[in-house]
Structure 1
Amino acid sequence: MFTEQKTASNLTYYNFIIFEPSSLRIEEQDILAKGKQIVDINNESIEYLVKQNSMKESIILNRIKKIEMMLSLVKDFDNVIITKFINKIWRRYLYFSNLGETFLDINYFTNIFPEYKKNKNQIVAQRIIKNNNHSQNHDDDDSEEHQDKKENTSVSNSKAPETS
């Protein structure tokens, strides 16, 4: 009688379909699917969503059908990708959303493709990205903001005192 509850964290994970040339900007570790496999994933998603009756699924179906139309225009699928799932609060979410189209949230994806349900770690992008020089966290790194604040503080502190 227990049902799986959707947690708030699961509802914020989305993946994206990204077309060439933007797909070349995505790191290999962030790619879930590539090439002709994308057409199959899209078709299975449409088949699943057509059977659903809610307004939410109708909205998602419209988005997926729009992607289907885009895919019909593609001649070479080698550089068409679906990304792994990214949390909406991560900086990469904004980056990916500017490069491609939102595809599915993680709950719909695992309902359509139940083989991924047990291994969600395989389909969720790593939060920490290792760079060649050092390990850095792109999604939580607010050092730029701190640097800007320091610069603004030092500028405001170094102003000459006003004389009357």
Structure 2
Amino acid sequence: MKAIFERRSIRKYLDIQISKENIELILKAGMSAPSAGNGQPWQFIVLNDKKMLYRIPEIHPNSHMLMKASHAIVVCGDMNRKNKFVEELWIQDCSAATENMLIMAQDLGLGAVWLGVYPMIEIVEKIKELLSLPEYIIPFSIISLGYPGETKDVLDRYDESRIHWNQW
């Protein structure tokens, strides 16, 4: 629970590489997320090539932290695995996977930030091209990862005024 309450978006990183073991733990956390009908409509692309990490900010205006990141993980929706009853549930499933990975990164002492990609179509198309994604794969989010080069205060975001019991 501590990792959930202390997780913050970290955009500054130290020049230290994350181990493959920690990347695998983050990916396992993502794949442990709930998904509609257990469809698990996700695919993950791990980026650690600095050339690739430098190219994404040319496409995504809010991703400059990637130039200092150790790794990034692109969370993608696999349209061949989407829910057969409600197709758009892949969005929720990929959101759950992304959040699980952010929490695991926090638990491992890493810094991370969620960069939204879908539904910004121009960014989606350029990321697809950059990563040579097949047509049925949609980039959903990018998680920037590194050892934190900044600290942020823990925030208490609990707001009782947003809670409604039984009806509005």
TM range (shorter): 0.3 to 0.5
Query: Normalising to structure 1: TM-score of the pair?
Result: 0.36
Query: Normalising to structure 2: TM-score of the pair?
Result: 0.35
User: Higher helix share goes to which structure?
Assistant: 1
Which is higher, the Rg of structure 1 or of structure 2?
Answer: 1
